[in-house]
Structure 1
Amino acid sequence: MSSHSSSSAATSGKDPPHNNKMPATEPISIWSLPDDLLLDCLARVSRLHYHILSSVSKRFRSIIASPELYQARARLNRTEKRIYFYLSYRIDPATDWYTLRRRNIAKGPNVGYYAETVPSPKWLHPARSSTLVAVGSDIYKIGGADHFTCKLSKRNCCYGFSVLDCRNHTWRQAPSMCMERDASATATLFKGKIYVAGGCDKKYVGCPNWVEAFDPKTQTWGSVTNPRVFEQRGEFISNENFVAKSLLLEGKLYMFGNDSAAVVYNPEKNRWSALGKDMYSMFQAVRECHCVIDDVLFFWESGAFKWYDFKARLCKEVRGVKGLPDLCSSDPKFFKVAMVDLGGKMVFMWNTRTYWECNIWCAEITLERRHGDEMWGKVEWFDSVLSTDVSCSSFYVVSASV
């Protein structure tokens, strides 16, 4: 009987009848995922959402705080640029550290940022007058004066080298430099090493350690040939206000000194070569507030955004940047500006002062090259991100990948 029924069903092309129903399957929940899969999912989410996701559960909070999450973000190429800056004050040797966090992104993509405090223990790192350089998710704070030295002896230089881990906002010490340096030192990441130059007394300009190179992987310092960009006719200049500038552009490390002295470095031969007079415009650009974005040098001069056309060896104005307040009317004695790369966009920061407070402003500018030899910019937004004490005298800005 059953054999005949089955045969008839097979012949007719219909499935045989089933008396037993398939059991209902439970819907898959994110809570049922193992930690490694959940970590992989969170690594693909923008870091802008992490402060919200951390409040969902202890499990989320634990994964978001783990170093494995940021290793996964780097492996998946999901890192994002984030702005960090510190403020210095005339009447206090301490500094305040901040990062910029986006406002409620549910309201739209161009809603701006606000400043969020970053812990900065006074005893662990230099307090003021320091140079910053980012290596991945680490920000290296170079030289300056430690809190107590600055407060007691008023000296703004030291051998100190400390690191802010932007993944969890913790500080650690790194091996000290061979030379004491202050905020006038210049630092550039080149071929995996941090090249630090200047920022020391003029009597050390000819010393072998005037330039040092730090390897973050081995945590060691190495010597670099002195480029002697402050030497004229065999005599060192006597001007105490000399400041060196360094720059990474088109895969090469450049160093600039005084009187248009400029050199380019060959790491294989540990040798500096002088640049021609046709690079004078580039020398002028790095003397202003500047940054490199997508291998193009941008700078701010006399109230205008400009860029350096490497092929033409000329400085040109960035077109189309409209909507910002008139910054030329600010008192140059107190007015400060800074610019930095934010994933292909420019972040431009400046300060304004009243009798009772100092305001830090920020603008985000998108950039576009047109017709090969034109650069255009558009202000996406600008706003005040922080109000602080009127004694604020300077700030330093850097972007890190997290």
Structure 2
Amino acid sequence: MSPPPPPPLMKVRKLSSFIADKRPREDDNDPSSPSPLSWLPDELVLQCLLRVPKTYDLNLSYVSKTLRSLVRSPDLHRLRSSLPKNSIYVYFRGEKTLEPKQYWFTLRQIQSSKPEIEYQLIPVNNLPSHPFMYHSSAIAVGSEIFFVGGSSKPSSDLWILDTRSGELSQGPSMKVARTCDSVVGVINGKIHMIGGCLNKKIQVEVYDPKTRSWTVGEGPDERFRLRLITMTQLTASLGWNVYSAETAKINVYNARQGGRLETVKMPSDVVWCMCVVADLLYAYYFREGLMWLDAKRKIWKRVIGVGCNDLKALGVKFHDAVMAEYNGKLAILWPEAEGNHLDRTEIRIRCALIALDWVGDGMRERIEWSGTVAEMPDNYSFHKIFVVSG
């Protein structure tokens, strides 16, 4: 008996039409019919889906019930969350100069004679310093850092820093000049510049690093436009949303819903740090401590575990700290100084790496490592922190 014939090529073409963002005809859209990927183990299909941008999830869900289930599965979410975010770049500014200069460092694991794992902030000498880095909005995508807009003086400039080569190049200008009051976020690999300008027609511009071009994005409705001018630089991106902290609330810009802008209440008025780790938004509040956002219910929940008290015991100065994702963990860096500031010449930079794990429907923290990662001149201070692909 001869073996059964392989699936017809028509199905392959049908799948590729979805990847190309083309929905098939209604008579072809039968989720009960087998797709070509149904012949493969789920583990292999998940590895394939991992290499497809999240923007195609909705289209893929039309192919078959199996793909619909896998696209929505926590396994795919876990795999996407585990994609490498293994390099933290921090730049400090020297404050006692007329034009602040940037000093670049990266967090690295080092060889140590001690049994404990040690980390250090290593100077990165091949990354340049330029005044616009201090005055502009900045964000990382992949291995590149993008500096956009101006400070109090609006600018349409875009500068691109390749952290692998150290090369700095100028990109295409925005259509509208913006100040550092802009909110900047990354949605599906594209940079969204929101607000920071007086142009009512072009409130949002979107930069695609692949095509190296700007397009006009969906702007929020009129009643929210003035709020964009007052937003702070404490921002984070997650899914289709860009979160930005304001007094007593978090503003949420949703690119998928036509630029809709909504708010999420904060448990208190003061939030020191905010970042995303493994597809969850975390913030450190002055009174409540470390919390995470339940995005569906739009409420903040306290991170549980003895680590909450341990952070206080470590003496973390969150009003001067920065935090970011590092290899799936939460990295917190803060300055620690001793003695009178008039006599002091150096400060220590301390770091804590925190593992975050689900316990039921809550999140538990556990400090995996803490220690001194660098000694800096006293006039250095944190300016920005970036997470890039190594």
Query: How many angstroms apart in 2 are the aligned matches of 1:173 and 1:108?
Result: 45
Rate the CA distance shift 1:164–1:286 in 2: closer, same or farther, 3 A. farther
2:92 maps to 1:87: yes
Tell me, in whole angstroms, the C-alpha distance in 2 between the residues paired with 1:80 and 1:193: 17
Which residue of 2 is the match for residue 366 of structure 1?
355
Pick aligned residue for 1:390 from 365, 378, 390: 378
Q: Does 1:272 align with 2:279?
A: no
SS at match of 2:265: helix
> Alpha-carbon deviations, 1:77-135, whole Å to 9, x = none?
99551110111233332211111121216755622223323433346x72413333222
Task: Give, as a single letter, the amino acid of the residue that structure 1 aligns with 2:274.
Answer: H
Matched with 1:143 is 149
Cα pair 1:265 1:272 within 8 Å, conserved: yes
Question: Structure 1: which 5+ runs fail to align?
Answer: 1-76, 146-154
TM superposition outliers: structure 1 runs of 4+ over 6 Å: none
Kindly indicate whether the alpha-carbon contact (under 8 Å) linking 2:133 and 2:147 is maintained by their aligned counterparts in 1. Answer: no
Instruction: Indicate the SS of the match to 2:283.
Output: strand
Structure 1 segment 153-172 matched on structure 2, within 5 A: 158-172=155-169
Q: How does 1:81-120 map to 2 (within 5 A)?
A: 81-92=86-97, 93-104=100-111, 107-108=114-115, 110-120=117-127
Question: Against the structure 1 CA distance between its residues 325 and 262, is the aligned structure 2 distance closer, same or farther, given a 3 Å change threshold?
Answer: closer
| Rg larger in structure | 1
Q: Distance in 2 between matches of 1:215 and 1:325?
A: 41
Match of 1:193 in 2: 190
Shift in Å, 1:399: 0.9
Counterparts of 1:97 and 1:133, CA distance in 2 = 15
Farther-moved stretch of structure 1 (318-327 vs 305-314) = 318-327
- Say whether the 8 Å CA contact 1:340–1:398 is kept in structure 2: yes
Deviation digits for residues 345-376 of structure 1, max 9, x if unmatched?
111112234522333222111110101x2211
Q: 1:318 aligns with which of 298, 303, 306?
A: 303
Q: 1:379 aligns with which of 347, 353, 367?
A: 367
The residue that corresponds to 1:401 in the other structure is 389
Query: Take 2:184 and 2:366, find their aligned partners in 1: how far apart are those partners?
Result: 29
1:13-52 CA-partner distances (Å, limit 9, x unpaired) = xxxxxxxxxxxxxxxxxxxxxxxxxxxxxxxxxxxxxxxx
Q: Which residue identity is paired with 1:220?
A: S
User: Taking structure 1 as reference, are residues 230 and 116 closer, same or farther at Cα in structure 2, changes over 3 Å only?
Assistant: farther
Aligned length: 298
Give the Cα separation in 1 of the matches to 2:269 and 2:96.
32
Aligned counterparts of 1:368 and 1:144: Cα–Cα separation in 2: 39
What TM-score do you get using the length of structure 1 for normalisation? Answer: 0.63
Q: 1:306 and 2:252 equivalent?
A: no
- Secondary structure of the residue aligned to 1:128 is helix
User: Measured at CA, do residues 263 and 242 of structure 1 come closer, stay the same or move farther in structure 2, by a change above 3 Å?
Assistant: closer
Q: Shift in Å at residue 297 of structure 1?
A: 1.0
SS at match of 2:259: strand
Return the offset for 1:290. 0.9
Equivalent residue for 2:204?
211
Tell me which residue corresponds to 1:17: none
Structure 1 residues 240 and 132: CA distance shift in structure 2, 3 A? closer
2:109/2:118 contact within 8 Å kept = yes
| 277, 289, 298: which one aligns with 2:273 | 289
Q: Equivalent pairs: percent with the same residue?
A: 24
Runs (5+) with no aligned partner, structure 2: 1-81
Partner of 1:227: 220
- Aligned pair partner of 2:241 in 253, 272, 282: 253
Query: Which residue in the other structure is 1:70 paired with?
Result: none
Q: CA RMSD in A?
A: 3.6
Partner amino acid for 2:378? V
Deviation at 1:171, TM superposition (A): 2.3
- In the alignment, the residues of structure 2 paired with residue 182 and residue 390 of structure 1 have an alpha-carbon distance, to the nearest angstrom, of 29
C-alpha distance in 1 between matches for 2:261 and 2:129: 42
Structure 1 residue 328: deviation in Å?
Answer: 7.3
Query: 1:228 & 1:394 partners in 2: Cα distance?
Result: 35
CA–CA separation in structure 1 for the residues paired with 2:186 and 2:316: 35
Q: What letter matches 2:356 in structure 1? A: L
**Residue pair 1:99, 1:118 contacting (<8 A) in 2 also:** no
Could you tell me which amino acid in structure 2 is paired with residue 161 of structure 1?
L
